[in-house]
Amino acid sequence: MSLWKDVTKPVTAKFGNEDARTLAGWKGYITDVVDADPEFVIGAYHQLWQVEKSFRMSKHDLQARPIFHHKRESIQAHLAVVFAALAVSRWIEAETGWSIKKFVRTTRRYREITIKAREHTLTAADPLPDALATAINAIHAHRPAH
């Protein structure tokens, strides 16, 4: 009798009620990684919440819209842009301590405009609140190398 053949059925389908009670509280991990030590498998599983968090990120946070592609190159390009946006978003979250939703909503309100008239340049901008200035400075301070 093997637990690994069909993991979609409840434990009671494989075992009797008595056996299921003795397994209560135990957690099994299944992997296709060959020769993985238990610490690696359990550690990877515990990091799964990071992946789930990324996929829960709403399309609205990145202002993404559904795009329907038919060519393989277009699909791959679209996925590359989505994953790049996700990577930048996660980096901003790590550097600022803010959620990407908070960062986007806060920064969206602030604009800077530069007007050039012949030899004159005029720049106008709303002053940033201290918390936003601190977050932006954190991003600039830890800019990754090219």
Residue 103's Cβ-count burial label (10 Å; 0-12, 13-18, 19+) is buried
According to the model, what pLDDT value does residue 145 have? 64
Q: Which of 3, 58, 56 is nearest to 28 (CA)?
A: 3
Q: Rounded to an integer, what distance in angstroms lies between the CA atom of residue 106 and that of residue 129?
A: 10
According to the model, what pLDDT value does residue 143 have? 66
* DSSP-based three-state secondary structure for 117: strand
> What residue ranges of the chain have pLDDT lower than 50?
1-9, 11-12
pTM value surpassing 0.85: no
